[in-house]
Amino acid sequence: MWGRVLRQAGVVDPSLRRDYALQRWVVARFARAEYLAVRLLLPMALQPDVVAAVAFMHETDDRVDQGGAADRSAAPAKWAVLVEKARTTGTSDLPVLRALAHTAERHPDTWARVGDFLNGAALEVAWEEFATEADFDRYVTGYSLPALMLTAGLLAPTGPPGSDEFISYCERLISAMQRLDFLEDLASDLRTGRLGIPPEALEACGISRADLRPGRPRSPAVDRLIRTQADAAAAALASARPLEHTVSPASEPFVRALIGVQQYRLEAVRAAGAGLTERSSRPSAVGSLGLL
């Protein structure tokens, strides 16, 4: 079946087919629900390009998040050199960049979106916590949104209602998704000294960072914190729902399912509550599969 998908996308060179196959397995491992949505709900000709873009985003995240502070600070510039070589030569020593370069041949706007994403990578390297909601919003606009646009840009409308409305809905969606990421990753982020919830939100619930340490008795105040953050994610998600009506009819089921999966993530976060300081939550596999 994947071979047929590649033929529909015009990927006929055997080495490129292997490159795309590798990216397919990468995405299937780390984003199973989203991968299934791509395979089940997007037109075949678009699937390899979305897979290549998601795999590139994941590779970038891995590179800027690994190692000590010095390694992480240097990672974006080093990675940008390799990406630029792929852009100018059309090839690379790395399968993920070879697939990306081939996708960019069919979707020329890809390189501009890649540039926006890499420009924001310094925000990912630098953040340890967001003092205010405004800081969180700047992170979303500067890094999370360009990350989403690597794939969403492949679905962007060419006619009315226009790109501004499309991007606005994308920003609302990624704001919800990013807040859910920080809630799901709360325990692991705390272990590395990070906190994706602004301290002002903790103060509003009458708690401090120390109250989030694992092993402490379950606190109603921490439950309240998780609930208020989940409410903020829910509001952003609800406001993003018209996104499906800004894409082509062929892409509407995928966008609808993507938003639906976030709803299952939201429900899992609410159910975990203060338990998120101990372990991550996961959306219902049965519910997500049923949705798809």
* DSSP per residue, 195-243: BSS-HHHHHHTT--GGGGSTTSPP-HHHHHHHHHHHHHHHHHHHHHGGG
Give the pLDDT score at 89.
96
Average pLDDT of 146-154?
A: 95
- Give the list of residues 6+ apart from residue 252 with CB closer than 8 angstroms, or none: 244, 245
Give the pLDDT score at 255.
94
Average pLDDT of 146-161?
A: 82
Domains parsed from the chain with CATH numbers: 1-118 (no CATH), 127-292 (1.10.600.10)
Average pLDDT of 190-217?
A: 90
For residue 88, pLDDT beyond 80: yes
Query: What CA–CA distance (Å, rounded) separates 199 from 205?
Result: 10
Give the pLDDT score at 205.
94
pLDDT averaged over every residue in the chain: 91
The top-scoring range by mean pLDDT among 29-33, 124-128, 250-254 is 250-254
The top-scoring range by mean pLDDT among 25-39, 224-238, 250-264 is 224-238
Average pLDDT of 163-174?
A: 93
- Give the list of residues 6+ apart from residue 65 with CB closer than 8 angstroms, or none: 72, 124
Give the pLDDT score at 28.
93
For residue 173, pLDDT beyond 80: yes
Amino acid letter, 283: P
Q: In which band, very low, low, confident or very high, does the pLDDT at 161 lie, cut at 50, 70 and 90? A: very low
Query: What CA–CA distance (Å, rounded) separates 177 from 5?
Result: 28
Average pLDDT of 131-140?
A: 94
Is this structure's pTM higher than 0.85? yes
